[in-house]
Amino acid sequence: MLTFLAAATAWMLATGAPTDPKLVGTWASGDATFLVLDADGTGRMQEGPVRWTASGGVLSVTAPDGSADHVPYQVAGDRLTLALPTGNAQLTRAGGPPARPGKAAASGAKGAAPATASARTIRFNGRRLGTVELGTLEKIERFVGRVPDGDYWYDPRTGASGRWGGPALAFLPSGLELGGAMPADASGGGQGNLTGVFMNGREVHPQDVAAFQGLVGAVMPGRWWVDASGNYGIEGGPPVGNLVTMAQARRRGGQGGGTAWSKRYEGITPGQNMNLASDGSTTCVSVSGYSRCTGE
């Protein structure tokens, strides 16, 4: 694979990959340099050097590891619009001719455009963010402030996010492209020995369990799915309740013991029926030969 990438890069240099002269220059988002595109097809973004081509109204940016982003664009004078998955990004051309980042920084020539903000080392779900993903993060940072470099996890189904190995610290919009699939060990567990409570594949941190207990009462071990609206159910099964509704009911009823209740959910296939029952303090679930009660 490395040989192929090297050959492909050499071919691009030899034949001259298509570029758009209108894109050449230094492009800024607000006061910060976002993108530097040189006429020879090289450039730089916040995460480091890149190569770029442009054809048919699509800007293609390739990182040193071979990963590439393809973004539709429009240039109108000194304004560049990038059609990112999270919405359009409006960039403006910095004054003066484009300068190679390394040379500009070394020479400190008067009037030279700044290179870029310092390269970022930031990972979500075990993967360093690419160009488009950093653009997504920067949109969020306009409202929450700059996220320090480091390792984080993100649950795209709920929007929950936190430091790698730790509990949930914030809720971002759901469905963002930030690092790919969330690993089971994102909060330090993964094997069922930390809390035994899995939500969307992540074994949740003990602090998460304590927070849920404060909101909805008992939290049962098992594998659960949860969506951004608070709906939840056993992994692979239908919704069985809503965490938001449960939290509201708990606040109205105080923190004392509740009332007894029971529910039965018909499965799609034989043997997949689920039974839930509670006496007001202990809750039990039984499905497909699995049975567990809070407190066990």
Domain ranges of the chain: 2-119, 123-259
Q: What is the CATH number of domain 2-119?
A: 2.40.128.290
pLDDT, averaged in runs of 10, over the chain (296 residues) = 34 49 85 82 81 87 80 89 78 60 40 47 92 87 82 94 92 88 94 94 93 83 92 91 84 59 50 57 58 55
Q: What is the pTM of this model?
A: 0.51
The predicted pLDDT at position 263 comes to: 57
Q: What is the pLDDT of residue 264?
A: 59
- Distance of CA 134 to CAs 59, 130, 194, 228, Å? 16, 6, 32, 23
Measured between alpha carbons, how far is residue 229 from residues 158, 243, 252 in Å?
A: 8, 8, 20
Residue 209: which H helix or E strand, with range? Answer: helix 206-216
The pLDDT score that the predictor gives to residue 16 is: 43
pLDDT of residue 295: 47
